[in-house]
Structure 1
Amino acid sequence: MAPPTGSLLSPEESSRMQSEAPRTPPSAATPRLTVLTTTRSVSGSAWQALSSRLPGSVLTSVQRWAVDSQRSACRNAMVAGTALAVRRAEREEVEEFLAARVPAPATEQSRLDALAGHEPQPSDGPGRAQADPGGHPGHTAHG
């Protein structure tokens, strides 16, 4: 396949780069990594043999990982809990401020009474109809 027209590399540079490319696949040149298991599943002698081959910094990191991980998780949980508590306190403060300045919503019956232009009477209740003096149900006393 021919290189695309307008290539940034000259043909000499392209052939030089191809000749410098590694001839072996990376997996053949790279040594296989040792598979580490958890320290609890390794017997004492196997752990000693493994630890003698590991650099000191890696060994220390492996031994301290569980403790460091748990400390980080606890710290993260405390930071998140503190942030939630601060937000909750701010929200409650805003709700108290608004409750003190915004009147409570009126009930449906008080709205109807205001539209009718009279004050609610103690016998008037939502959904209650009083019988007229003649005893006919369904007629209200005030009209």
Structure 2
Amino acid sequence: MEKIIDLSITGASEAGNVENKTKGTLEEIDGNIVIKYYEQFEGDSIRTENILTISGNIVTLEKKGGVNVIMRFESGKSHDAIYNTQAGPVSLLIKTISVYSKTHEKGVDLELIYKICFSPQDEAENKLNLKAVYN
């Protein structure tokens, strides 16, 4: 059954920190945790739907709308992604350093530490913390 949640999302990178608080939904489907929420990027007129699926130590983030991408995070592994924007597609390599998720009676905590590689010489380390709390 889908439950309404309060989300607190903090992202940290070399470009700076971003904090976002929003509402979303959380549902358990076939043993996986599926979190859905919307965001709107500054200067973008189209909202982006985010579908975050936690399946054990593998996390998949799918964005649909203003940007379109599927990113896979798996500790110690790298995965390619195509980040489609209104300005055109950008090829990325996602190098996941660690994935930590914990389900508890109040909701779910998630931490991702990863590098986004635009080219072999151009990579940026990122950290994402997400706290989903049931209403």
Higher helix share: 1
TM-score by length of 1: 0.13
Higher relative contact order (CA 8 A, sep 6+): 2
Higher strand share: 2
TM-score by length of 2: 0.13
